[in-house]
Amino acid sequence: MLISLQWLKEFIPNLKINDKVAESLTSLGLEVSSITKKQRDLIIDIDLTPNRGDCLSVYGIARDLNSLFNKKIKYPRVKKLSKISKKKYIKSLDSKICPSYSCLSITGLNNSIKTPDLIKSRLKNSGIKNINFLVDIINYVMLEIGQPMHVFDLNKLILPLSVRFANKTELFEGLDDGEYKLTKKIPVISDQSGPIALAGVLGGKKTSTTQKTQNVLIESAFFEPNQIRQS
């Protein structure tokens, strides 16, 4: 995992990276394999052990540093949003696949605007390609707080959605342009027309956002790892 020191400093303002910090992180299962200087920043390459998935974010790393050195951490501000009726968006949810599924609709967006340079730079330094404004923001939030999300073009969805296992006769075209023949063991997100995403793995091409996208549905969910491995 590649992480920016300047980004970490937004959580721990007085943080300095030195050999002591690197050694302490390694003792927690966060092995620092390299530190590279890029302009006015340091990019830290951290190899995570399988049991430290809770640190797959800037906030996760900052939280561990806080516990190690008793540094004062600035927690992200979270704005409370009004609740919407799930019935409009979610028809059925297989709890074996997904114990928790949340979504947020936003309308009247302008996805043709440019992603701010700071966000583009941090994504690039973290090894993530810039796509478009909406996708870049989703990826940025994922890197910052560790919650994977996906954004659908709301106008391309035939609501409501279901989280279920695929049928063996179903086909799926992914964002990677790959075409997949599904099996009964593959968990999917589907609308009324069929699968639109491989749950927790890959979004679908037919509901993807473009620069013309104005209305979106943002997905934030927890998918059972044992089920996702089937994909």
Question: Residue 4: which H helix or E strand, with range?
Answer: strand 2-4
pLDDT digits (tens, 9 = 90+) for 144-183: 999 999 999 999 999 999 999 999 999 999 999 999 999 9
Distance in angstroms (rounded) separating the CA atoms of residues 56 and 54: 6
SS3 of the chain: helix, strand, coil, percent, to 5: 25, 30, 45
The stretches of the chain forming alpha helices (DSSP H) are 5-8, 19-27, 58-69, 86-89, 117-125, 133-145, 225-228
User: Options 3.30.70.1140, 3.50.40.10, 3.40.190.10, 3.40.50.300; which CATH number does 86-228 get?
Assistant: 3.50.40.10
- Per-residue pLDDT averaged across 112-139, rounded? 94
Q: In CATH, what number does 2-69 get?
A: 3.30.56.10
Distance in angstroms (rounded) separating the CA atoms of residues 65 and 21: 8
Which range among 48-52, 80-84, 87-91, 136-140 shows the weakest confidence by mean pLDDT? 80-84
Distance in angstroms (rounded) separating the CA atoms of residues 150 and 172: 17
Joined tokens for residue 138 = 């989703």
Provide the percentage of residues in the chain whose pLDDT is more than 70.
100
**For the chain, domain boundaries:** 2-69, 86-228
Residue 83 has pLDDT above 80, yes or no: no
Asked if residues 81 and 75 have their Cβ atoms less than 8 Å apart, the reply is no
Which range among 57-61, 73-77, 108-112, 126-130 shows the weakest confidence by mean pLDDT? 73-77
Higher confidence at residue 115 or residue 69? 115
Burial class (CB in 10 A: 0-12, 13-18, 19+), 107: exposed
Alpha carbon separation from 176 to 49, 112, 173, 204, 220 (Å, rounded):
28, 21, 8, 9, 21
pLDDT digits (tens, 9 = 90+) for 188-217: 999 999 999 999 999 999 999 999 999 999
Which range among 35-44, 60-69, 113-122, 202-211 shows the weakest confidence by mean pLDDT? 60-69
- Straight-line distance from the first to the last Cα atom of the chain, in angstroms, rounded to the nearest whole number: 23
Joined tokens for residue 116 = 């701010």
- Per-residue pLDDT averaged across 111-139, rounded? 94
The alpha carbon dihedral of 29, 33, 39, 40 has a sign of: positive
Asked if residues 206 and 196 have their Cβ atoms less than 8 Å apart, the reply is yes
Asked if residues 144 and 167 have their Cβ atoms less than 8 Å apart, the reply is no
